[in-house]
Amino acid sequence: MARIGLVAHDEKKDDLCRWAADHRDKLSTHELWGTGTTGRRITDATGLSVGLLKSGPLGGDQQLGAMIAEGRLDVLIFFIDPMSAQPHDVDVKALTRLATLYDVPLANNKATADAVLAFI
């Protein structure tokens, strides 16, 4: 069982919810963690159990980063909106830096998330 972090920018939350619904059976065999709004939306859309952290801008991104640094997260699925500036861009960069530093698979879009999920 992998510990999977789930987060998405506002304009990508629907995409992540659809992806999670498409992979509900496989995701149900893993431990899921999500930032507040994203996690709640995934639970509402799929019925999956998602451990809820704070909303991303309120510290949820940093909580996921801490989980990575402490070895408590195996995969990060982070659907990023490349077309919008994010007010908490520094937090987003820190989270992606930690995933890279600690060699945690990081999926930023559906195609990569599909590939990562196929291997866990």
Give catalytic status of residue 61 as yes or no: yes
**Could you give the residue ranges of the DSSP H alpha helices within 1-120?**
13-22, 24-27, 36-46, 60-69, 89-101, 110-118
Which three-class secondary structure state does DSSP give residue 50? strand
**Residue of 15, 22, 44, 61 with catalytic role:** 61
Could you tell me if 6 and 20 are in contact, meaning their C-beta atoms sit under 8 angstroms apart?
Answer: yes
CA dist., res. 117 & res. 87, Å (int): 29
- Cβ atoms 92, 76 nearer than 8 A: no
Q: Would you name the residues annotated as active-site residues?
A: 61
